[in-house]
């Protein structure tokens, strides 16, 4: 897993940097996107009401959902109204967030993921391990074994053959589906249109082939007009996959357009809150709602590269996930997430909408500590550290001592740390220490 994630993330960063470097006004676009998101969040009520009004004028039925349960039940009610038995879905983190697949299956509705990565993790009954590449933790040999075991086909690890197998299976599902479910990348407030970007055409088929299309979107997906869409359509693919543009940009402006004969006969949009209003109420942390789910912060994160997406335990992962998990699920349930970061700041440098992720993680760590969710030994350790920082000579002596004491241990023997080494390896103390190395490097740079 570690090698697959690290390899894929490195390639994604390389492509992203190359594409971003081809835009001479890349930083300007980031600033524009940040400003648009800030304006939307500060006037979200007005934009949402405008979006609802325009959707209704376009013939799109609008539903509001306060939480995940209400959103799931709304989908269930729509499915019951239309006698739906089979559903196809395109990749949507919002539907993962509300646990929609399990709800539909529990109600005897067959649901099939049509994005190739999502299809693979669905076969494994896993959640995605990356925001844009759900099966990033698997290599082609893993996928070959999954197809062989779950679909009963001959083992192959050839990408073209694996793709042909998936295409054959998914085409039948697509043609027989009664309902298509998608997420929404951008919701255009002044036009009442839904924009979905993708590379495989599975979203286009999911929203266009079945008679019923249901789009599930968080309230933060609003942008004011098509004028701002251009900026986001440049930033998102470049940050996610290093592309200058996605292969498909699907815009839904209403039900079946008779002149063209394309689209679902019934279009519904579910506007989901599920804790977002609570995040919006915090003047600092509301910035985390600016996220456009590109995954750039994951690819650059040294922690994510080592542990993968499943270690975060929820549908949002990486640096932005570490911010969102305690806010959506509560400080108690998400108390570990803000600490799964090195705070190196690389994520903030990569973020296309300039979210200051390290600052938000620091604030969330403070909230966790303030509410008493840290271990007693951590509190005493930090008090000791604060005390030592007030007395530099004592600090230097105590940080010098472990490295020297370690030299007395035989071979590669580490200091005993039973609780710590139960789940991880303990490194060796540096014999010179950080401070001496830092001063030496500084002197070399000054020469």
141 vs 138, 156, 158, 306, 409, CA distance in Å?
Answer: 8, 8, 9, 20, 43
DSSP 380-441: HHHHHHHHHHT-HHHHHHHHHHHHHHHTTSSTTPPPP-TTTTTTS---PPPSS-HHHHHHHH
Q: Is the pLDDT of residue 180 over 70?
A: yes
Question: Which band of pLDDT confidence, cut at 50, 70 and 90, is reported for residue 447?
Answer: low
| pTM as predicted | 0.86
Neighbours of 71 (CB within 10 A): 26
Cα(295)–Cα(273) distance, integer angstroms: 22
Q: Taking residues 21-42, report their average pLDDT.
A: 95
pLDDT digits (tens, 9 = 90+) for 267-293: 999 999 999 999 999 999 999 999 999
Ranges 121-135, 226-240, 364-378, most confident:
226-240
Nearest CA among 159, 129, 165 for reference residue 147: 165
Mean pLDDT of the chain: 91
Q: Taking residues 154-165, report their average pLDDT.
A: 91
Radius of gyration of the chain (CA): 25
Do 161 and 194 meet the contact criterion of CB atoms below 8 Å apart?
no
Q: Is the pLDDT of residue 1 over 90?
A: no
Cα(193)–Cα(255) distance, integer angstroms: 11
Nearest CA among 350, 357, 287 for reference residue 321: 357
DSSP 76-118: HHHHHHTT--EEEE---HHHHHTTHHHHHHHTT-EEEE-SHHH
Do 315 and 127 meet the contact criterion of CB atoms below 8 Å apart?
yes
Question: Which band of pLDDT confidence, cut at 50, 70 and 90, is reported for residue 259?
Answer: low
Question: Which band of pLDDT confidence, cut at 50, 70 and 90, is reported for residue 258?
Answer: low
pLDDT digits (tens, 9 = 90+) for 94-131: 999 999 999 999 999 999 999 999 999 999 998 888 88
Cα(121)–Cα(136) distance, integer angstroms: 10
Q: What angle do CA 126, 221, 257 make, to 5 degrees?
A: 95
Q: Taking residues 183-206, report their average pLDDT.
A: 94
Q: Taking residues 122-141, report their average pLDDT.
A: 88
Do 194 and 187 meet the contact criterion of CB atoms below 8 Å apart?
yes
Residue 281, pLDDT score = 95
| High-pLDDT (> 90) share of the chain, % | 70
pLDDT digits (tens, 9 = 90+) for 206-231: 998 999 999 999 999 999 999 999 99
Question: Which band of pLDDT confidence, cut at 50, 70 and 90, is reported for residue 132?
Answer: confident
- Name the one residue in this structure whose structure tokens are 């990749």: 91
Question: Which band of pLDDT confidence, cut at 50, 70 and 90, is reported for residue 422?
Answer: confident
């Amino acid at each position: 897993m570690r090698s697959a994630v690290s390899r894929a993330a490195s390639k994604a960063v390389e492509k992203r940097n190359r594409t971003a470097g081809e835009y001479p006004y890349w930083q300007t676009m980031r600033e524009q996107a940040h400003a648009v998101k800030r304006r939307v969040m500060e006037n979200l009520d007005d934009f949402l009401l405008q979006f609802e009004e325009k959707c209704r004028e376009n013939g799109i039925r609008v539903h509001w959902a306060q939480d995940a349960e209400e959103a799931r039940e709304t989908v269930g009610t729509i499915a019951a109204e239309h006698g739906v038995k089979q559903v196809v879905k395109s990749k949507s983190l919002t539907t993962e967030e509300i646990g929609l697949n399990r709800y539909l299956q529990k109600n005897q509705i067959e649901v099939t993921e049509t994005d190739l990565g999502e299809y693979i993790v669905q076969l494994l009954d896993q959640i995605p391990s990356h925001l844009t590449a759900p099966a990033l933790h698997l290599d082609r040999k893993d996928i070959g074994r999954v197809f062989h075991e779950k679909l009963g086909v001959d083992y192959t690890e050839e990408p073209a053959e694996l793709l042909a197998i998936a295409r054959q299976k998914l085409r039948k599902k697509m043609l027989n589906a009664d309902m298509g479910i998608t997420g929404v990348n951008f919701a255009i407030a002044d036009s009442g249109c839904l924009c979905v970007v993708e590379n495989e055409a599975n979203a286009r088929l999911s929203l266009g082939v079945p008679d019923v299309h249901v789009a599930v979107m968080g309230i933060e997906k609003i942008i004011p007009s098509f004028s701002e869409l251009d900026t986001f359509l440049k930033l998102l693919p470049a940050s996610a996959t290093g592309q200058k543009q996605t292969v498909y940009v699907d815009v839904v402006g209403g039900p079946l357009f008779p002149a063209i004969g394309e689209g679902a006969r019934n279009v519904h949009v579910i506007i989901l809150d599920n804790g977002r209003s609570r995040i919006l109420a915090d003047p600092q942390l509301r910035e985390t709602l600016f996220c456009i789910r590109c995954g750039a912060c994951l690819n650059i994160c040294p922690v994510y590269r080592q542990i993968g997406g499943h270690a975060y335990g929820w549908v949002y992962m990486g640096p932005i996930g570490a911010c969102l998990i305690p806010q959506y699920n509560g400080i108690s349930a998400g108390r570990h997430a803000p600490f799964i970061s090195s705070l190196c700041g690389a994520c903030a440098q990569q973020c296309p909408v300039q979210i200051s992720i390290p600052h938000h993680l620091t604030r969330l760590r403070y909230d966790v500590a303030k509410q008493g969710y840290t271990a007693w030994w951590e509190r005493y350790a930090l008090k000791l550290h604060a005390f030592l920082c007030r007395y530099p000579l004592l600090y230097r002596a105590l940080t010098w001592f472990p490295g020297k004491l370690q030299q007395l241990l035989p071979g590669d023997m580490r200091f005993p740390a039973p609780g710590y080494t139960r789940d991880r390896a303990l490194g060796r103390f540096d014999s010179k220490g950080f401070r001496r190395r830092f001063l030496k490097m500084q002197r070399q740079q000054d020469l």
